[in-house]
Structure 1
Amino acid sequence: MKKGINTRCLHIDENEENFENYGSISYPIYQTATYAHQGIGKSTGYDYTRLQNPTRNQLEKVVANLEEGLDAFALSSGMAAITLLMELFKPNDHLIVESDLYGGSIRLFDNISKKNGIDFTYLDCTTDDIEKHIKENTKAIYIETPTNPMMNVSDINKISKIAKKHNCILIVDNTFLTPYFQNPLNLGADVVVHSGTKFLGGHNDTLAGFLVTNNEEIQEKLRFLIKTTGAGLAPFDCWLILRGIKTLGIRMEKSQQNAIDIANFLKEQDVVTDVFYPGLPEHKGYDIIKKQARGFGAMLTFNVDSKEHAYEILEKVRMIKFAESLGGVETLITYPTTQTHADVPEEKRLKNGITPRTLRLSVGIEDSKDLIDELKNVFKSLS
C-alpha cells in the first residue's frame, strides 16, 4: 500500500528489520571521490562519484518516489538540471516554451540553447493556441505552473494531450508547488524539473537541481548525460537536501497558510493595485489549480501603485529580507525587474506583466501576524 507523502519524505521501502549503515537515522554522507574494488568484475556497485554515489542515489530515490517517477537525477543547481535537459535536443529542434518563465531559464534558452541550434517559440501557455504553433520539428513543450513571477496556471493534462498528439514531450517545472502539492507526471508530463535549492532544500543553505521522468528512453539518455557532463550533486549537498525534504510537508503547509493570510491582507491595502496568488478564488487559474494540485503554494506576486513605493518597500523591510531566491523558511521579497528577470528584455518583461511596480514574495514559516504587522508598518511609512 502506498504510504502518505509526509511518510515518504522520511522513509523509502523500509521496515523495522532494516539496519543498513549501522542503523544511522540520518543517511550517511559518502564523502569520497572514488571506490576500491577487490578485483576485475568485483565492483561494489560504485566506481567514481561523478558516476554514482550512495548519498546521491538515496536522494534520487526519495525525489523519484515523491514525484511518482521512474528515476530522478540530482544536479548541482536548478540551472544545471535544465542545461542537462537541453542536451536531449539537437540543432534544428524546436521547443514551445512558456513566456513567463524564471529569467535564468530564458537567459539559458536565448543565449546558450539558441547558439547550439535549438529554436524556441514563447507563448502564454494559459491562453495561446499551442497546437497552432507546433511544427514538424517541434520536440517538446516546456512550462512552469504556476509561473515565475506572475503566477499563471497552465492545465497540465490538457497540454499533455496536445504534446502526445504531436509526438512531443511535456516538461513541467514544478519548483513552486513541489511534489507535496502537485505531481505533473501523473497528469501526463514526461519530465519534471526542480530547483532543489528552493522548497525541497528549504533552508537557503545549498544549491541543487532535479530532473524526474517516468519515460524509460528519457531515463537512459539522462543517466548517460549526467555521468558524461559531470554536473551531479556533491554528497554533502545531497545530504542537506535529504535533511530539508524531511520537513517538506509541514513547511509547505505553514508557508501556504501564511501566503493565504498575506494575500488577503494585500488585497485590502490602498498602495497595492494587484495581487497574484492562485489560492484566491478570483485568480484566473484557481479552478485549474484546484483540479490538478493539492494546494496553492507559498509564492505570491503583487503590484504597488508606483515604482517609488516599490523601492521604499524594499529599503524598509527588516524581518522580511530583500533577497533573490525563494522556498526557504525565511520570508523573502524580490524585485524581478533588477533581480530574477534582469536579463529578460524589457519589452518581454512588460508583455508578461512584470513592471517596475512588481514585487514577489516567497512566504516563510514565521507567524503570519508578525509578517503582516511588518508590511502594515512599512506601508504606513511610505512617503
Structure 2
Amino acid sequence: MQIQTAVIHALHDFEHRAVVPPVHLASTFALDPETEGGEYAYQRSSNPTRAQLETVLATLEGSAHAFAFASGMAATAAALSILREGEEILLPASVYGGTYRFVGRVLPARGVTGRYVDHLDELTDEDFTPATRAVFVETPANPTLRITDLRRVVELAHRHGARVIVDNTFMTPVLQKPLDLGADVVVQSATKYLAGHSDLLAGVVTTSDDELAEAYRLCQQAEGGVLAPQDSFRLIQSLKTLPLRLERQQANARAIVSHLREQEGIATVRFPGSHSAHEARLHASQASGPGAVLSFELAEGLDRVAFLRALRYPAFAVSLGGVESLICRPSTMTHEAMTPQARAAAGISDELLRLSVGIEDLEDLLGDLDQALAAARLR
C-alpha cells in the first residue's frame, strides 16, 4: 500500500468501520467490576482516538510503535528520557534551538551531558566514550540544510552501543524513513508538516524497539504530556493530505531556489544538497525529495527589515510546514536559545533567513519575493 493510500485507509479496520472514525472525548472509561480491567481506563494512559492516530503514524513510518505527545518538544523530551545519570548524547552544532535549550538546561539536572559536533558526518570512533549512549541527528539540519549520512552514523553509534535518534520533522516519513536506515527512534514535531495548517501543537515518537516503546509508553502515563482526543482527530484528518501538500510545497520550493539563485540581491541560497556534490548525492540516497525549507542571505547593502516588511505572503513568524509560507530569522527566533558562539559554530549568521514554502500560487510567491527585494534595495 502506497503512502497516499495508507494515510486515508489505515483506520478502516476500527470497530465502528466509519469512513471518518468518531472522536472519543471521555476522560475516563467504565471497567469490568469483576476483573477491574478494560482496554481503556483513563485518557492519560490510553484513548481510542489517540490510539487511532498512533496507528496511522506507525503505518506511515513503518514502525511497530508510535506515541503522540502534546508538542514536538514533549516528544523530543520523551525520546531523550532513555538517558540516565552519567551518560552523554552527541548532537550536531546546528540542532534546533528548543532541543539545544532542553539539552543544556534540563538534562544536566538529571546528570546527563550533551556534547556538540560541528558536523555529524565528521564523527569517528574517537568521538565515542563509554558514556556515549545516544546520537541525535537532524538531516537536513535546521536551518543550514546540511546533510548527515544516516547509515554511517548508525553503524558508528551501534558499534559503540549507542542509540540513534533522528528528528525527521523536515522530511516526514513521506520523504525519508530513518528507521529503515537503521535508526532506533524517530521524533517529529507534528505541528509542522504532519498537521500542516499552523493550528495545533503535536509531537510524535516512533520506534520498532519493544524495550524503548515501553519507556515511551511510561512517559505518556507517568508524565502526562499526551495529545488530546480533539487534536488527535484533527491530526488524523490533516495527515490525509500530507503527501499532496508536500508535492506542491516541494514544487514551489524548487522553483524559488532556482529563482533566488539568479537574483543579484541574494548572497547565498541553502537547500538540501547545496553544500557539496557529496551531500547532494547523499541526500538523494536516503530521501526521496528535497523538502520545502530553504534558507538564504541578502546581498550586502540590502535592508533586511525593509525586505521582510515588504513581503505580502510569507508571514514573519516561527514554525514551518504549513500550507502558508513562513519566513523567520533563526538567530533571534528559532535558535535564540543558543549563545552567539554556538550559532557561529553551527553556521547560523545574524543575516540568515529561513523560508518555509507553502502551497500558494508560485507566480504570486515569486512576484512577492521580487518586489520585496526591490524594496530592500530602495532603502
Quick check: TM above 0.5? yes
Distance 1:271 1:284, change over 3 A: farther
Match of 2:9 among 11, 27, 43: 11
Q: CA deviation at 1:38?
A: 3.4
Give the CA deviation at 1:220.
Answer: 1.4
Q: 1 CA distance for matches of 2:256 and 2:122?
A: 31
Query: CA separation in 2, counterparts of 1:186 and 1:110?
Result: 30
**Residue 131 of structure 1, CA deviation:** 2.4
Aligned 8 A contact 2:307 2:375 in 1: no
Distance apart, 1:214 and its partner CA: 1.1
Change beyond 3 A, Cα 1:283–1:156 = same
Identity of aligned residues (%): 36
CA distance in 1, matches of 2:304, 2:84: 42
Q: Would the aligned equivalents of 1:97 and 1:122 in 2 still touch at CA under 8 Å? A: yes
1-structure distance, mates of 2:281, 2:60:
24
Residue of structure 2 in register with 1:212 after alignment = 206
Question: Structure 1, residues 320-357: CA drift from partner, whole Å, max 9, x if none?
Answer: 11111101000000111111011110111122121121
1: CA distance between counterparts of 2:167 and 2:226?
Answer: 19
Match of 1:274 in 2: 268
The match for 1:20 among 12, 15, 23 is 15
Task: State the shift of 1:286 in Å.
Answer: 0.9
Q: Partner letter of residue 15 of structure 2?
A: E
Larger deviation, residues 61-70 vs 182-191: 61-70
Structure 1: gaps spanning 5 or more residues? none
- Which amino acid is the alignment partner of residue 263 of structure 2? Q
- Structure 1 position 141, deviation (Å): 0.6
**Counterpart contact for 2:57–2:66, Cα < 8 Å:** yes
1:342 has 2:342 as partner: no
Q: Secondary structure at the match of 1:136?
A: coil
Pick the aligned partner of 1:79 from 55, 73, 77: 73
Q: Which moved further from structure 2: 135-144 or 219-228?
A: 219-228
Distance 2:71 2:39 in 1: 26
Whether 1:292 and 2:286 are equivalent positions in the alignment is: yes
> Which residue of structure 1 lines up, in the alignment, with residue 238 of structure 2?
244
Distance in 2, matches of 1:306 and 1:210, equals: 41
Q: Is the counterpart of residue 310 in structure 1 residue 304 in structure 2?
A: yes
Task: Note if contact 2:193-2:321 (Cα within 8 Å) is conserved in structure 1.
Answer: yes
Aligned to 2:354: 360
Other structure's SS at 1:361 match: strand
Which of the numbers 160, 167, 175 marks the counterpart of 2:161? 167
Alignment of 1:116-135 (within 5 A): 116-135=110-129
Alignment RMSD: 1.6
Question: Aligned in 2, Cα 1:283/1:275: closer, same or farther, shift over 3 Å?
Answer: farther
How many angstroms apart in 2 are the aligned matches of 1:156 and 1:281?
17
Structure-to-structure mapping, 1:173-192, within 5 angstroms: 173-192=167-186
Alignment size in residue pairs? 377
Give, in angstroms, the shift of residue 127 of structure 1: 3.8
Secondary structure of 1:10 counterpart: helix
CA distance in 1, matches of 2:355, 2:124: 30
**Is 1:310–1:358's contact at 8 Å kept on the other side of the alignment?**
no
1:20 to partner: Cα distance: 3.3
- Displacement of 1:137 after TM fit? 1.1
Unaligned runs of 5+ in 2: none
The alpha-carbon distance between structure 1 residues 78 and 13, as it changes in their structure 2 partners (threshold 3 A), is: closer
Q: Which amino acid aligns with 1:201?
A: A
Aligned-partner residue type, residue 220 of structure 2 = I
Where 2:313 maps in the other structure, the secondary structure is: coil
Give the Cα–Cα distance (whole angstroms) in 2 for the partners of residues 71 and 84 of structure 1.
14
Q: Compared with structure 1, are the counterparts of its residues 19 and 302 closer, same or farther at alpha carbon in structure 2 (3 Å cutoff)?
A: closer
Aligned counterparts of 2:305 and 2:124: Cα–Cα separation in 1? 37
Measure the CA separation in 2 of the matches of 1:353 and 1:177: 21
Q: CA deviation at 1:19?
A: 7.5
Could you tell me which of 132, 137, 147 is aligned with 1:143?
A: 137
Q: What is the alpha-carbon distance in structure 2 between the residues aligned to residue 181 and residue 108 of structure 1? A: 27
Aligned with 1:322 (options 298, 316, 327): 316
Q: Residues 305 and 357 of structure 1 are in contact (CA less than 8 Å); yes or no, is this contact kept in structure 2?
A: no
1:307: Cα distance to partner?
8.4
1:131, 1:179 → 2: CA distance? 29
2:310–2:371 CA contact under 8 A, matched in 1: no
Q: Is the 8 A contact 1:123 1:130 kept in 2?
A: no
* Contact 2:11-2:56 within 8 A present in 1 as well: no
Q: Report SS of the residue matched to 2:76.
A: helix
TM superposition shift of 1:86 = 2.2
Contact residue 146 and residue 275 of structure 2 kept, 8 A: no
Distance in 2 (CA, whole Å) between partners of 1:148 and 1:192 is: 16
**Taking structure 1 as reference, are residues 143 and 281 closer, same or farther at Cα in structure 2, changes over 3 Å only?**
closer
Tell me, yes or no, if structure 1 residue 301 matches structure 2 residue 299.
no
